[in-house]
A = this chain, B = another copy of it.
Amino acid sequence: MAKKSEQLSARQRQIMQFIRHFTAERGYMPSYREIGDAVGLSAVASVSYQLKQLSDNGYLSRDENISRSIDLKIDLPDSEASPWNVEEENQIPIGDAALIPLVGRIAAGGPITAEQNISEYYPVSRQLTGKGDFFLLTVSGDSMIDAAICDGDLVVIRKQPTAENGDIVAALLNDEATVKTFRQRDGHTWLLPQNSAYEPIVGDHATIMGKVVSVLRKL
């Protein structure tokens, strides 16, 4: 008789992987006939048979008489492990959007997105942010006006501890958050305003909070 947790047969592995790919692409489960077509089983009953084995061994579950009710319990490794494991501590993804906290006062020391600093969450399209861990800052002053960033603008900042030359960053300098262009030269870190009325700042002791990835403005 079929014994306990036997190893999966080639066919069963084939089915498991097809289900995974199908759901990834289409967003819902395949029917028995679709599975059969994909793995080369001409009889629905054969699919039913294999699915019963998989179900009995805990690889998946399904609800009787309900179409497309397969529920995979195990992700059979195809190959990959994704290195893009971003820690999201405060965002709740809304479909195509991310909820990003607007940070009020910036206090040196503690975590930037500590709860008491958050006044509100803004939904922002992922198209505008990309992947990562974000927070929002309200721009104060017009030191970045030549970069088309105005007083009152909201900037979406992806948390990261450093930056590349030319990036616009949010930095913590003397307990104050500021948005400037990042530049390293002569062994020094500079925070450059984009407004000829302002002078470059030596940022050697500044803390880079993250990189500005989007700008939001309400007129």
Chain A residues engaging chain B, CB cutoff 8 angstroms: 26-29, 31, 61, 63, 66-77, 92-97, 120-125, 127-129, 145, 148-150, 154, 168, 212-219
A71 in complex: contacting residue of B26, B145, B154, CB < 8 Å: B26
Q: Chain A interface mostly helix, strand, loop or mixed?
A: mixed
Q: What residues of chain B lie closer than 8 Å to A94, measured between beta carbons?
A: 74-77, 94-95, 97, 123
Bound Cα distance A71, B67 (Å): 16
* Docked pose: A145 CA to B63 CA in angstroms: 48
Within the complex, what minimum Cβ distance (angstroms) separates A48 from chain B?
A: 17
Instruction: Output the least CB separation between A208 and chain B (Å).
Output: 16
Give the complex CA separation of A35 and B71 in angstroms: 19
Residue pairs across A and B with Cβ atoms less than 8 A apart, 20 shown, are A27-B71, A31-B67, A68-B68, A68-B69, A72-B95, A74-B94, A75-B93, A94-B95, A97-B97, A122-B127, A122-B128, A125-B216, A128-B217, A148-B150, A168-B219, A215-B215, A215-B217, A215-B219, A216-B216, A216-B217
